[in-house]
Amino acid sequence: MLWKKLFRTLWVYKAQFISMVIMIAIGVGIFFAFNVEWYSLEKDTAEIYEATGFADFRVYSDRGFNDADRDAVKAIDGVKDVSRFFAVNTTVENDSDVIALSVSENMNISGVLVMDGEDFDSESPDGLWLSDSYAKANDMHIGDTMKLVYKSVTIEGTVKGLVKASEYLICLPDETQLMPDFRSYGYAYVSPVMLQNAVNKLMPGANINDFYPRIYATSDMEKAEFVKKLDEALGKTYLVLDKDETVSWSEAQGEIGEGKTMGSVLPVLFLAIAILTMVTTMHRITASEKTQIGTLKALGFRDAKILRHYTTYAFAIGVLGTILGIGIGFALAWYIMNPNGAMGTYIDMPSWRLYVPWFCWLVLALMIVFLTTIGFLSVKKMLRGTAADALRPYTPKRMKHMWIEETKTFKSLGFGIKWNLRDCLRHKSRSGMTLFGIIGCTILLVGGMGMSDTMDAFMDTFYDKAILYETRIFLDAENTDNATAETIAKQYDADWCAQRSIQIGDKGFALEIYNVPKGLVCFPDQDQEFFELGDDGAYICGRIARDYSLSVGDSITFSPYDSSETYTVPIKGIVSAMSESIVMTSAYADKAGIPYTISTLFTKETEIAASEHILSSQSKKSIIDSYDTFMELMNVMIVMLVIAAVILGIVVLYNLGVMSYTERYREMATLKVVGFKNRKIAGLLISQNLWLTVVGVIIGVPAGYGVLKYLLTALASEYELKLVLGPATYLVSVLLTFMVSLIVGLMVARKNKHIDMVAALKTEE
């Protein structure tokens, strides 16, 4: 008999049960998705790091490392293995595509995974092992011939394998490009033999051993210990970067960290609303079932059996919502974590398996237990006393007169305001849950659309106003003196920049020295206002200022790598920059005695002629295209947030609206008896929703601003984003929240037509 009653009761309260299942499913789905996403990314990236022997340390030298240097590093106690590494950007012949031509002397260190074709041959004189993602984007296949141009020398090879490499896990040409674009930039590995042949074309008789500018090492040592032992082994200080300072490691770990942060923010909001809704709704359902519970007691059913029966509702809701949520979570995680998904456009790795962290199962199990306990306690409260006590209908607690009701102001209010105000205070939990749902809806809307505004402002600042050139030309700084570089700059009517790697403490940064009389590169401050660089000091990026607690007027000391010199310069300003860097003018660098070599030109020209001094060029359009790809993914996430916000608002408000209707059923019947029309009663119900919406929006808008600010700081600090929320964001967020509230209010208000006045008023007061 109780099984039949189970399904009948589910049908009677179908709106509440469905809404609770949906809320739990959404909460579990978002919790599951974010945690599966970051954990899968951690496991999948670890797989390629381990398979390719991703280096722990990278040692740089302009002059190159010979065999003796390599052996000295390998002999350091605590170093597991080493490899000399060479990488240079080449251009595809008769094309503007750039290929990072790479050589690892020991392919056990930062090597490759062959996805198709022949195994890597370290003795191949003409083999190219090409990025499979670049090959796919450019319709290239095994057996095709590629001609790469470097310093007017053509390097020809045959594609013998398609590979993935941990060194290019996030394949970006530089920090100005937000997303990889394999249509124009890729990488290829070749053997030391092929590198030797290329060197012979440039400088006949030269030995390849003089051209390895990096040593890669694997070790469990801390960086400070490794640097100390390295200096002792080589007798000189070199620039050393650990894996945390490489894009392929730091950006991937950053994505993992972002996933953890998001997994601890948004799911908490949804799960909290779902659980609180469950608490409130189960209490109201059991209160409505009080007479049924009393009847069962009177018929001889034991309390334990009645408890099990009603607890089953909560258990079923928890299990069903969790199962649906797991499905939603896996679907969302796969949408993000697949080769063609959001993460696949950014990270180039071979494995895209999904993994679930162990604590997710524990959290879900505990949540089901908690939800079941809620149902158990709700019913247990109704079972107190005799069967006669239980048969009496549930009577809401009596309201005491409030002091405000005795004031003239309150007495002058209309009936509707008085009625709704007393109802809100009488049912605080329901009103609080409605308010919480509205606040959550507003936070998601403000946060989602605010992120779009912030990224649009970022685009406007860094790409429309800061970058005014059309093409960036990369010079062969090793073989081009400053006089020649300035001659080329005049030829293209260009501004120029010199870049050097420097160390502050034991961490590497970039020193950028600019000469921009034509204003093709501009510099924003922390408020995104543009200013001209002065010739009386240096300017540091916001991250350096924050990490080292520096401000304008302080001094900063740095040392160029491959040099024993140190320089102390005054800080004249703080700039917003795409990279961690120190910026100064060439005039100040000359005054401070800081040597530099011009490496980059900025020009309005789009046609760049081949030259022995020009390595490659990059168009502004390619940078913008990568940003557009990034924004496409961002817009998808924003749409998902808006949809989630609307679903959250509708489900929570409708559930609580139906609950409010049920609780006030007798009151509304009384109003109908004394002559209130359906439209008037509907107005009372809708107005209460709108009151709570006003309060929720007032709280939710600044809360959304605060949540977004926290997420920008936690997730995107490397971009130095300035939080921007446009008027349209505020307007749309508020209007959409009110629209959801109004629609739900109208849906609930339609139920007034079905009030049975006689049945409602026959119940005991």
Question: Could you give the CA distance from residue 464 to residue 76 in angstroms, rounded to a whole number?
Answer: 49
Q: What tokens were used for 403?
A: 């002091």
CB 525 within 8 A of CB 461: no
State mean pLDDT over 75-100: 86
Query: 592 with 569: CB under 8 angstroms?
Result: yes
Tokens describing residue 80: 């597991």
Two tokens at 527? 């408020």
The position carrying tokens 């942060």 is: 261
| The pLDDT of residue 481 | 84
- Using left for φ > 0, alpha for ψ between -120 and 50, and beta otherwise, residue 252 falls in alpha
Q: CB-based burial of residue 353 (10 Å sphere; 0-12 exposed, 13-18 middle, 19+ buried)?
A: exposed
Closest to 499 (Cα-Cα) out of 610, 604, 570, 578 = 578
* Residues 554, 663: Cα–Cα separation, whole Å: 66
User: Considering only CA atoms, which of 567, 514, 579 is closest in space to residue 542?
Assistant: 579
Element spanning 603, H or E: strand 598-603
Quick: pLDDT tens for 402-414. 666 666 666 666 6
Structure tokens at 392: 């009496």
- DSSP letter at 78? T
Amino acid at 707: V
pLDDT at residue 269 is higher than 80: no
3-class DSSP string for 320-382: HHHHHHHHHHHHHHHHHCCCCCCCCCCCCCCCCCCCCCHHHHHHHHHHHHHHHHHHHHHHHHH
Is the pLDDT assigned to residue 217 strictly greater than 80? yes
Burial 393-431 (b: 16+ CB within 10 A, else e): ebeeeeeeeeeeeeeeeeeeeeeeeebbbebbeebeebb
Gap between the Cα atoms of 633 and 656, Å rounded = 35
What is the rounded CA–CA span in Å between residue 554 and residue 559?
17
Helix, strand, coil content of the chain in percent (nearest 5): 55, 20, 25
Q: Is the pLDDT of residue 130 over 90?
A: yes
* Cβ-contact 63, 236 below 8 angstroms: no
Pairwise CA distance, residues 478 & 480, whole Å: 6
- What are phi and psi for residue 587, nearest 5 degrees? -65, -40
Is the distance from CB of 158 to CB of 128 less than 8 angstroms? yes
Give 115's pLDDT tier (boundaries 50, 70, 90): very high
pLDDT value of position 82: 92
| pLDDT attached to residue 235 | 79
Instruction: Tell me the CA end-to-end span of the chain in Å, nearest whole number.
Output: 31
Question: Over the range 529-559, which residues count as b (16 or more CB within 10 Å of their CB) and which as e?
Answer: eeeebeeebbbbbbbbbeeeeeeeeeebebb
CA distance 103 to 608: 28
Cα gap 729→455, rounded to integer Å: 13
Burial of residue 3, with CB atoms counted within 10 A of its CB: 0-12 exposed, 13-18 middle, 19 or more buried: exposed
Looking at every residue in the chain, the average pLDDT score rounds to 80
Determine the Cα–Cα distance for residues 743 and 325; give it in Å rounded to an integer: 26
* Average pLDDT of the residues in 496-519: 84
Residue 96 is predicted with a pLDDT of: 73
Q: Residue 39: pLDDT above 50?
A: yes
Phi and psi at residue 82, in whole multiples of 5°?
A: -140, 160
Residue spans of alpha helices (H) in 610-677: 620-663, 665-673
Which of 429-438, 527-536, 625-634, 742-751 is least confident? Answer: 625-634
User: Which residues have CB under 8 Å from 78's CB, separation 6+?
Assistant: 219, 220, 221, 225, 226, 229
Among candidate residues 213, 231, 170, 234, the one with its CA nearest the CA of residue 506: 231
Nearest CA among 243, 761, 139, 710 for reference residue 508: 243
Q: What is the pLDDT of residues 50-74, one digit of tens each?
A: 999 999 999 888 778 888 888 899 9
What is the torsional sign of CA 318, 322, 323, 325?
positive
Alpha-carbon span 159 to 143, nearest angstrom: 5
- What's the one-letter identity of residue 746? L
Instruction: Report the pLDDT averaged over residues 619-642.
Output: 70
CB-CB neighbours of 624 under 10 Å: 15
For the residues 267-276, what does the mean pLDDT come to? 72
> Residue 160 pLDDT more than 90?
yes
pLDDT, tens only, 567-590: 888 999 888 877 778 899 999 988
Higher pLDDT, 108 or 667: 108
Q: What pTM does this model have?
A: 0.76
Higher pLDDT, 356 or 414: 356
Q: Domains in the chain, please, with CATH?
A: 62-237 (no CATH), 395-468+622-765 (no CATH), 471-605 (2.40.70)
| Cβ(47)–Cβ(166) below 8 Å | no
The winner for highest mean pLDDT among 80-84, 209-213, 283-287, 368-372 is: 80-84
Residue scoring higher pLDDT (12 or 344): 344
What pLDDT is recorded for position 415?
66
Model confidence at 765, pLDDT cuts 50, 70, 90, reads: very low
- Reduced to 3 states (helix: H, G, I; strand: E, B; else coil), residue 162 is strand
Whether 190 contacts 158, CB under 8 Å = no
Determine the angle formed by the axes of helices 14-52 and 303-336, rounding to 10 degrees. Answer: 40
Q: What angle do CA 514, 516, 517 make, to 5 degrees?
A: 145
Weakest-pLDDT range from 75-84, 180-189, 198-207: 198-207
Q: Which amino acid is at 73?
A: V
C-alpha of 665 from chain center: 46
- How far apart (Å, rounded) are the C-alpha atoms in residues 645 and 10? 27
Residue 206 pLDDT exceeds 70: no
| Cα distance between residue 155 and residue 172, in whole Å | 22
